Chains A and B, each alone.
Chain A
Amino acid sequence: MLAGKQTWIFENKPCIISSATVGGPFEAKCTIKDDFDFLFGDLYCGEDSFEKAEIKMLEKACEIAMNKAELKNDDIQFFLSGDLINQIISSSFTARTLAIPYLGIYGACSTSMEGIALAALMVDTGFADYVMAATSSHNAASEKQYRYPTEYGAQKPPTAQWTVTGAGAVILSTEGKGPKVTSATIGKVIDNGISDPFNMGAAMAPAAADTIEKHFKETGLDFDYYDFIATGDLGRVGHKIVIDLLGQKGIHLPQDKFSDCGMMIYSPDQQVFAGGSGCACAAVMTYGHFFNKMRKGKIKRLLVIATGALLSPMSYQQNESIPSIAHAVSFEM
């Protein structure tokens, strides 16, 4: 059902019947290391290149998700996936292995929630029985593509963020025991003129504020309805900005229940500047940590607003600013 202009209320409450998260060696030391299903000890994951490593991680996440749900490739009607690599090859090559009808999506770091929103739509409307949504990112592959290869050793300012090396996959169905997807607010592209790719938090905060405002307005929910609200990867810089922006709109979210996946994922002794980012940031925090908490009964109502910076290396070189987007999905146990 459509609520307002950009929110879907899922009356049949599609269920996350299984979720899987995979991480790299740096993630093996992060705050949510125990929530991962699998951790690779080497950034190459035993492959020749970082891009191949990312494919391997995404395939691993999908494989674990399917094993947990006791489903085979043939049982799943659709596979939705996206990532940061050019032409989303991590997703396409994983889809090749899976041989499930595939829809490639791109939302930069908001892909995790974009995927779940679309998967939930398919299941809720009866257009699919089982849908798998996945996403991945790889620190070295992203650095090579968007900024500089890591061996170049270029300096980074304190507003820069650390792309999470990891992958997350979820399988949605009509019935099940897991967290249920209750609504999704699809974001609009917002561009406030920030053009510094080393300060994505500032670029994405306006998009997060806009989607959060629309979500509460169109669902009619109170600001303290959710037990926890997390943005994807605004980082320390973006988090402060979004609180200000929301304040200007008259929205004051309870501070002890409002945080950001990028701020939460890495421990203080892991030097990640303003925090984590990448498609896998919101994905591993949500599909791993938050869903585990929900399954244990510690969180009953969760809102995740994944944020994405929709720039390309080319757009930056052509002096364009960074348009951003945020997709919000609500989960209830």
Chain B
Amino acid sequence: MEKILFAFIVGGLICVIGQILMDGFRLTPAHTMVTLVVIGAIAGGLGLYEPLVKFAGAGATVPISSFGNSLVKGALKEAKDTGFIGVLTGIFEITSAGISSAILFGFLASVVFKPKG
């Protein structure tokens, strides 16, 4: 039960940060998304994101900041295994499932439902 509460709070707070970026700092939705990904990447690189995931579970993995964390995690893991080139070859290792799913399911949804404004 505690886990659900922490997931709710942490996930919500990350979204609040996003809303502040949009309303307060007047960033466009695209810039906001990119900022959150970069924050996640930097936090991940410094080893600060994994503890957050342990603490808040889906509250940390569902928001887009975790995408940045996964990018860095993949790059660093591959670099450790195969040397410097691993930064390039490994960056999409962990995130490939997410990216492919987004493209595939987005495509299927638009073919089936033909979304229009």
Contact = CB atoms under 8 A, between A and B. Distances in A.
B11 to A, nearest CB: 18
A37 B31 CA distance: 43
B22 A143 contact: no
A150 B23 CA distance: 20
B22 A144 contact: no
Interface residues of B, number: 7
B29 A155 contact: yes
Contact of A150 (B22, B26, B29, B117): B117
A155 B15 CA distance: 13
Interface string A185-220: 000000000001000000000000000000000000
A140 B117 CA distance: 7
A149 interface: yes
B29 A143 contact: no
A314 interface: no
B4 to A, nearest CB: 27
Q: In the complex, which range does the number of interface residues on chain A fall in? A: 10 to 19
Interface in B32-47: none
Contacts of A144: 117
Interface in A91-113: none
A258 interface: no
Contacts of A273: none
Contacts of A148: 29
A149 B110 CA distance: 15
B69 to A, nearest CB: 25
A149 B117 contact: yes
Most B Cβ at <10 Å: residue of A143, A150, A155:
A155
A269 interface: no
A157 interface: yes
A221 interface: no
Interface string A121-159: 000000000000000000010011000111100110100
B72 to A, nearest CB: 28
A40 interface: no
B26 A196 contact: yes
Contacts of B29: 148, 154-155
B114 to A, nearest CB: 10
Interface string B15-34: 00000001100100100000
List the 4 shortest-distance A-B pairs measured between CB atoms, nearest first.
A150-B117, A140-B117, A151-B117, A151-B115
Given A50-B117, A150-B117, 11 more contacts: A43-B117, A140-B117, A143-B117, A144-B117, A148-B29, A151-B116, A151-B117, A154-B29, A155-B22, A157-B23, A196-B26
11 contacts: A43-B117, A50-B117, A140-B117, A143-B117, A144-B117, A148-B29, A151-B115, A151-B116, A155-B22, A155-B29, A196-B26
